[in-house]
Amino acid sequence: MKNKTSLLPQEGEAHPSRCPDNTAFKQQRLPAWKPQLTIASVLSTFFLTGAFCLIVGVCLVLSANSVREIQIDYSDKCSDCSKLRENSSNWNKECHCSVNFTLKEDILGDVFMYYGLQNFYQNHRRYVMSRSDAQLLGRNVNIQRSYCTPFSTYRNGTPMAPCGAIANSMFNDTIDLFYNRNSSVIQVPLLKTGNSWWTDKNVKFRNPESYNLTSAFAGTARPPYWQKPVYQLDEEDERNNGYVNEDFIIWMRVSAFATFRNLYRRVKRVRHFVGGLPAGNYTFWISYNFPVARFRGRKHVILSTMVWSGGSNPFLGIAYLVSGTAAILAGFVITGIHLKLRKKKTYFQKQ
């Protein structure tokens, strides 16, 4: 065992230096710029920021108010279908209802159709996690190990495609729009593709690789609340089937609030609807499949236009107005404090 005194530095030995190297960086001699906060620079920052926010807020609010929008609640008008759908044994029975409304003025430009749900909570943690992103990418995965439970497999072991609570609760009402022109009834042409985000359509959702979708989804079954298998969601367009069906893609992007709307269709601008929707009498023809009475929900159909700032949502403009007002009020408060302190300093200097 070594003596403790042997661990101490002996006479004549060099002591290791703990000083940083003599460089500009380690000795903190690099040139630097430090802003000098003066009352003029601080007040100008507050007032200019406030003025900018107020101008942007006014523009956003005016833009949102210029959006033409009409909202139709069909929850009560389709009450008979709602009662039929509350009994799960009637899932295979069709039920239709119609809702009439009138446009007093033309809706010019591109017209978008949304479906809206009220009191439907998509922000529950288990609901949000109940999906398999690997399955939605077309991969062959074991969904029993995913978060899809209890909507993963049936009792006989057949996997669900797609799995999870989000997919199982997909909105499946069918909504058609008819224009009553003089004595004739014209169906408004609606576009069902081109409504989802490009990243969703081309990156996040893919079908399994196979020579056709029927064989791609062989050995799987539809979710319990669905009326059709995933490869028959769109019987008119084969490219809009499977996991890349745009209605399905839009539904899978869950909402943060209990009241929300999702894009459903766009009006195709042809023939009588080149300029948009002309004024007149219209009818929504609805195939009612999505029950909402059990959770006291409401269903809407919204027809809306778009502007440079988006749809009819004044929240961002109001937020800018509030921020701008707060910044200007803060500037006035700082100005008052500065004048008061300067006056007090001048008084003491005279004394």
pLDDT tens-digit map of 301-349: 999 998 888 888 889 999 999 999 999 999 999 999 988 888 776 756 6
Among 18-32, 71-85, 156-170, the minimum mean pLDDT is found in: 18-32
State residue 293's pLDDT score: 87
C-alpha to C-alpha distance for 263 and 38, rounded to whole angstroms: 51
Distances (CA, A) of 87 to 226, 290, 297, 326: 15, 12, 16, 54
Going by C-alpha positions, the residue among 296, 314, 294, 284 that lies closest to residue 114 is 284
C-alpha to C-alpha distance for 99 and 287, rounded to whole angstroms: 11
User: Cα–Cα–Cα angle for 235, 241, 243, nearest 5°?
Assistant: 155
Structural tokens at position 57: 């807020």
Q: How long is the chain?
A: 351
State residue 12's pLDDT score: 56
Residue 177, pLDDT > 80, answer yes
Average pLDDT over residues 272-290: 92
The mean pLDDT value of the chain amounts to 88
Structural tokens at position 312: 């009819």
Q: Longest C-alpha distance within the chain, in Å?
A: 115
Going by C-alpha positions, the residue among 245, 242, 271 that lies closest to residue 192 is 245
DSSP string, 187-229: EPPEE-SS-S-HHIIIII--PPPSSSHHHHTTT-B--TT-SS-
| 75: Cα within 13 Å, side-chain hemisphere | 17
Q: Grade residue 33 by pLDDT with cuts at 50, 70 and 90.
A: confident
Residue 1, pLDDT > 70, answer no
C-alpha to C-alpha distance for 162 and 246, rounded to whole angstroms: 14
Average pLDDT over residues 28-49: 88
Higher pLDDT, 189 or 143: 189
Q: Which residues contact 339 (CB under 8 A, 6 or more apart)?
A: none
Higher pLDDT, 344 or 170: 170
On whether the CB atoms of residues 75 and 294 are closer than 8 A, the answer is: no
Q: Grade residue 10 by pLDDT with cuts at 50, 70 and 90.
A: low
Q: Grade residue 38 by pLDDT with cuts at 50, 70 and 90.
A: confident
